[in-house]
Amino acid sequence: MQNKFEELKAQALLAIKAIKDSAELVALENKLLGRKSGELTNLMKGLKDLGDGVKKTVGQLANTIKIEIEASLASKRRELQTADWSVAMEKERLDISQPSLPPQERGHFHPNTIIQKDLEDLFSTMGFMVLDGPELESDYYNFTALNISANHPARDSQDTFYIKGHSNWVMRTHTSPVQVRGPQKYGVPIRAIVPGKCYRNEATDVRHEHTFYQLDGIVIDKGINLSHMKGVLEAVAKHLYGPETKVRMRPKYYPFVEPGVNGEVTCFLCKGQGCRLCKKTGWLEIFGAGPMHPNVLKEGGVDPKEYQGFAFGFGLTRLVMLKYGIDDIRLLESGNLKFLEQF
């Protein structure tokens, strides 16, 4: 009897090992342990016919064998389940990786934008707001409010583009309308700059273009005088061309400032010695400026008896040409990639 149990155990364990899928497992489980005619069940049924002495030992053996077979079946079941899972997962596998795109060419700023952003940063550190004004401007803001009345000769030097049927609109000839728009909108005291596009009706050549950039600025407060103006403009000059740079201001007429000045800085190329860039003068003209004219302050809603101010205007395009040694202004608006890709 004992041998029969041992034999059955050996065969059963071998058969379990050979199982390949869950159907086979269920079948074998039935064949061995089935309640009615399982092989082990049948063998165990025979125990009751044994004599008392043997019954106990064989009975214990039979039980251990049953437990061993059950454990072996259970471990086979786990093994099959894991295998089933990996098959299912492999079937449902989703490839979510994306083939990489061909390298994109990166754009970059236009040289105008590089200088504009640089100056916006500098003026922000000095407490200036960066404002924007319309490029299609009213005759009033572009000229009249800036102390340039209808028949003023200054209009001749700033001929621009007009809109058919709208005689009071012009493409702005400078960024100076901020001198009136700024205080009108934000009140005083105020510190603001306006960088942007300007237009003039020019016969174009290496030095003249119908579209170009300027940067105007204003400071209006109580007790503002010429030394504040010089201080700000010197800070800009030193920022652009280094700490040794000097600023020179000479009288020049601009209708909206009184007195108007023509601002020059020592040539950064020859350090003031005189060279081709500065036409042997040692100086580069880069801005116009002056204390704001009382009429302009009034147009901005400011009482000139209480407040003083100064205004300045940089030729942004000129700064770009000087910085990069560009000798033909027309390249800047040309959209020519051979030119633009150098920056």
Task: Output the smallest distance, CB 266 to ligand DAH, in A.
Answer: 20
Q: Which is nearer to ligand DAH, 137 or 216 (CB)?
A: 216
- Quote the least distance from Cβ 179 to ligand DAH, whole Å: 6
Residue type, 12: A
Least separation in angstroms between residue 216's CB and ligand DAH is 5
| Residue 195, Ramachandran bin (φ over 0: left; ψ between -120 and 50: alpha; else beta) | beta
Residue 52 exposure: Cα atoms within 13 Å on the Cβ side? 0
Name every residue whose Cβ is closer than 8 Å to that of residue 331 and which is 6 or more positions away in sequence. Answer: 339
Find the shortest distance in angstroms from Cβ 313 to ligand DAH: 2
Query: Nearer to ligand DAH by C-beta: 182 or 290?
Result: 290
Binding site for ligand DAH (CB under 6 A): 174, 176, 216, 254, 257, 260, 288-290, 311-313
192 with 128: CB under 8 angstroms? Answer: yes
For ligand DAH, the closer of residues 290 and 300 by Cβ is 290
Cα separations in angstroms, 79 against 24, 89, 90, 141:
13, 16, 17, 87
Q: Smallest distance, Å, CB 183 to ligand DAH?
A: 14
Copy the structure tokens of residue 332. Answer: 């800047």
**Closest CB to ligand DAH belongs to which residue?**
313
Name the residue nearer to ligand DAH (CB basis): 99 or 153.
153
User: How many Å apart are CA 168 and CA 195, to the nearest integer?
Assistant: 23
Report CA dihedral (151, 153, 159, 162) to the nearest 10 degrees. -10
Q: Closest CB to ligand DAH among 272 and 315?
A: 315
